[in-house]
Amino acid sequence: MQHDFEALLSFLGRLPAIDLPAGRESIGYGQFEDGNWWVKFSLDLSHPLAWRHVQELGHVLNYISPDNRLPMAFIPVSPRPT
């Protein structure tokens, strides 16, 4: 299953405010029988880019298609990054 998540795990692993005390093993992920999936990670809240990561991920995941919203929500929802 990790192969299915490889691109996403690689991307998240490069974000400087993602807290990775055990390397990429620090990022939890999985897939449900119905095909839905999830990821779980921690942010280093003291990192100056932590809130920026939340804003950027929230914007891309919640508003990637203005005409056809994805059937998911990245929470917290934030305003568009500037």
Tokens at residue 39, please?
């990821």
pLDDT digits (tens, 9 = 90+) for 4-20: 889 889 989 999 999 99
The pLDDT tens digits of the residues spanning 20-67 come to 999 888 999 999 998 888 888 999 999 999 988 888 888 777 777 667
Is 81 within the bounds of a domain?
A: no
User: Which pLDDT band, with edges at 50, 70 and 90, does 80 fall under?
Assistant: low
Residue 75 within a domain: no
Q: Establish if 78 belongs to a structural domain.
A: no
The one-letter code for the residue type at 19 is D
Domain total of the chain: 1
Domain hosting 25: range is 2-63
Residue 15 dihedral angles phi and psi, to the nearest 5° = -75, 125
- 77 belongs to a structural domain: no
In the chain, beta strands by DSSP E? 18-19, 21-24, 28-31, 37-40, 42-43
pTM listed for this prediction: 0.72
Task: Decide if 80 is inside a domain.
Answer: no
Q: State the Cα–Cα distance between residues 52 and 79, nearest whole angstrom.
A: 11
Query: Does a structural domain hold residue 76?
Result: no
For residue 42, being part of any structural domain is answered with yes
